[in-house]
Amino acid sequence: MKSERLYSLDLLRGLDMLLLAVIGPLFAAINAATPLPACVMGQFRHNWGGFTLWDLIMPLFIFMCGAAVPFALEKRKTDGRAGLVYWRHVLARVAVLWVLGMVAQGRLLSLDRLLINPFNNTLQAIAAGYLVAAAVLAVPSRRVRRAAPFVLALGYSAVLHACGDYTMDGNAATRFERWILPLITPDGSQALALADPGYSWWATIPMFGAMTLCGMAATNLLTDASVAPRKRLVRLAVLGAALLAFGWAVAPWIPAIKHIYTLSFTAQAMGWCVLLLAALSLVADVWRLRKGTGLILLFGQTSLMAYMCHAFKAVFRAFGQQFAPGAAHLFGDSAAPLAVWLAATVLLVAFLSLWRSRPRRASKKRAPSSAAADTRTGMADGAAI
């Protein structure tokens, strides 16, 4: 089941990256050419309160990181314990993701200490959740590992509920964000202004950890050798449905707010993530319906590079804008946005194809079969996101 399970991991990761880098921009281009109904375009933005399709992207990335943790970290334990090799890998991965996050969104390349925001990016949220999950995985007690996501999620939610309200300015997580930034940067208010209004990062680390652990639990369910494959999927579907129902049930008291990852929002997000994983595992792993998934796999196996390309999407759009005048001349002004999107997407796909096919040097300490498996399933490039 292991190889099939990894195949479904890549598919889900690829679908998430496609939504962010290709499908979202496509709808924006269509809307620029011919305005779409507000109910459609509303699914491609974040609102303060409620749940949209766009809200699922970041939680799914964090969930998928957790789903890859058992494959990436269990083999690095020494005699079942987390030793130097284990923590060296964890801290190196966290450092790489953190720096890339600062490059992508934190203004690191500005080299201006007044503009650099140390924590305001999805890659850094993934790094934080990954570090929490690694620490939990290092605990020998299985009971502690199972209880950890509930303790983290409920503890964070209790503080959020008791120490403020759920408005953009009055919630505890955003107030903590405003308090901590001046301690890190000479001008915390200026750094905070670079981030999206109302978003919390530092205070939300426990919830990032809980989401990562949820992904890890999903993988453990699907790779439980003592249970038949179809029963594993049933268990996973039941877990997803239970999370979704719980999120809906508590929403009247705790509103679903993506910006601060309230309990109702996170439960709904994890419910959808688990159900999507179960559905893809059924289709790709049990039924083995895999034809026509090449583009999805490309984005799944190069998801980290694809994310960085999306962060610098202006470069790809600049290429696409070279074709906009010609498209407008031949087909009218409404064709220009679609021409920009198409050319930029073709360039992105070509670049990712070249990136995936680049020669790789396998570590001398790793067996060739292990290196080949990691390459096939995207662990070498995309597991962290």
Q: Each residue of 159-180: pLDDT tens digit?
A: 999 999 999 989 999 999 888 8
pLDDT band at 383 (very low <50, low <70, confident <90, very high): low
Residues in the chain: 385
Write the CB contacts of 228 (distance below 8 Å, at least 6 apart in sequence): none
Q: What is the pLDDT of residue 246?
A: 98
Phi first, then psi, for residue 81 (nearest 5°) are: -115, 150
Helix (H, G, I), strand (E, B) or coil at 81: strand
Question: CA 166, 169, 175, 178 torsion: positive or negative?
Answer: positive
Express as a percent the part of the chain with pLDDT over 90: 75
Mean pLDDT, the chain, integer: 89
Q: Determine the Cα–Cα distance for residues 105 and 44; give it in Å rounded to an integer.
A: 19
Least confident segment among 207-211, 285-289, 335-339:
285-289
Nearest by Cα to 49 from 168, 201, 169: 168
Q: What is the pLDDT of residue 184?
A: 65
Least confident segment among 21-35, 88-102, 113-127, 344-358:
113-127
pLDDT at 337 over 70: yes
Residues 275-281, mean pLDDT to the nearest whole number: 96
Write the CB contacts of 307 (distance below 8 Å, at least 6 apart in sequence): 17, 20, 21, 104, 122, 123, 385
pLDDT at 54 over 90: yes
Greater confidence, 216 or 72?
216
Tokens of 320: 């696409």
pLDDT at 328 over 50: yes
pLDDT at 3 over 50: no
Q: Each residue of 290-317: pLDDT tens digit?
A: 999 999 999 999 999 999 999 999 999 9
Q: What is the pLDDT of residue 113?
A: 78
Cβ–Cβ < 8 Å for 279, 303: no
Q: Each residue of 104-139: pLDDT tens digit?
A: 988 899 888 777 888 989 999 999 999 999 999 999
pTM: 0.92
